[in-house]
Amino acid sequence: MTLGSNQHPARGPLDGERLAAAFGQTPGLALELLPEAPSTNEVATERARAGAAEGLVVVADHQVAGRGRLDRTWETPAGTAATFSVVLRPSVPAASWPWLPLLVGHNVTKALVALGYDARVKWPNDVLLDDDRKVAGILVERVETPDGPAAIIGVGINVSMTADELPVETATSLAVAAPGAPDRTQVLIEAVTAIREGYDVWQAGGDLGTQRLATSYRSHCATLGREVRVDLPGGGELTGRATDIDPDGRLVVETSSGTERVGAGDVVHVRATD
């Protein structure tokens, strides 16, 4: 039987028991699984403001109003994606916070590599597969809460979308990249565990932890060595060769008029042009 463009193999719901068992075994993680949510970042923000402890993972089986950066949207057909947010309450100095989005991208990439995919991270934190197509997006937001500032770490991973379900041309999914994609529950467990472990090592390591993260991130970052165009808010742009990530997590670009550094919060788009 061939499947028409509107028919897709059945997709089961996330396995709440497996998620609860996996997160229950990892110290510092707790699970809130919702059948449907507008945006897990929104729900996790509410929970953080209401006093949720570090490590709460809010998972939506189906996220219906997912958010990207800068008011962009994140679209995931029902049953095809891992969409979750983690509440963190970092104790690192404020100067180290810019590394957090990079850390998340780095560890989601590592989780996909461990699952057998040729994943790499595009600065600051888009996770790419074949032909530079985006398989995962990350939205890190700082929120003020009565217990101090919290970081809401939002991650969306395209797992089982077929080619005709991809929301934009630049996207891909694990299933499109290779047959036999793991189920969404497994992808979610691997990603959350990798983020939590990477975060704990980073926090425990102090300045040395950030230096180690920077070294590891640089060696896996697909942007370094590429010719790039960086679109800036307000319509400006920079073009040149991306040569480094500086100690503050900024991208260093050698342009024809000198060296420029851009922070993750200051860019609209980064595109490889070579």
Give the binding site for ligand BT5 (CB under 6 A). 39-41, 63, 66-70, 72, 74-76, 83-85, 134, 137-139, 154-156, 158, 167-168, 171
Count of residues for the chain? 274
Which is nearer to ligand BT5, 30 or 201 (by Cβ)?
30
The distance between the two most distant Cα atoms of the chain, rounded to a whole number of Å, is 60
Which is nearer to ligand BT5, 69 or 226 (by Cβ)?
69
Nearest approach, Cβ of residue 143 and ligand BT5 (Å): 13
Which is nearer to ligand BT5, 60 or 224 (by Cβ)?
60
Nearest approach, Cβ of residue 268 and ligand BT5 (Å): 9
Residues 6+ apart with CB under 8 A from 101: 124, 125, 138, 140, 249, 264
Nearest approach, Cβ of residue 127 and ligand BT5 (Å): 9
Give the CA count within 13 Å in the CB-facing half-sphere of 244. Answer: 9
Which is nearer to ligand BT5, 154 or 198 (by Cβ)?
154
Give the CA count within 13 Å in the CB-facing half-sphere of 25. Answer: 8
For the purposes of burial, counting CB atoms within 10 Å of the CB of 73, is it exposed (0-12), middle (13-18) or buried (19 or more)? exposed
Nearest approach, Cβ of residue 211 and ligand BT5 (Å): 27
Which is nearer to ligand BT5, 16 or 77 (by Cβ)?
77
Tell me the torsion sign for CA atoms 171, 221, 219, 203: negative
Nearest approach, Cβ of residue 208 and ligand BT5 (Å): 30
The label of the residue with tokens 């888009």 reads: 126
Nearest-10 crossing angle of helices 99-114, 206-220: 50
154 touches 85 (CB < 8 A): yes
- What is the number of the residue whose Cβ is closest to ligand BT5? 137
160 touches 174 (CB < 8 A): yes
Which is nearer to ligand BT5, 74 or 210 (by Cβ)?
74
Nearest approach, Cβ of residue 12 and ligand BT5 (Å): 20
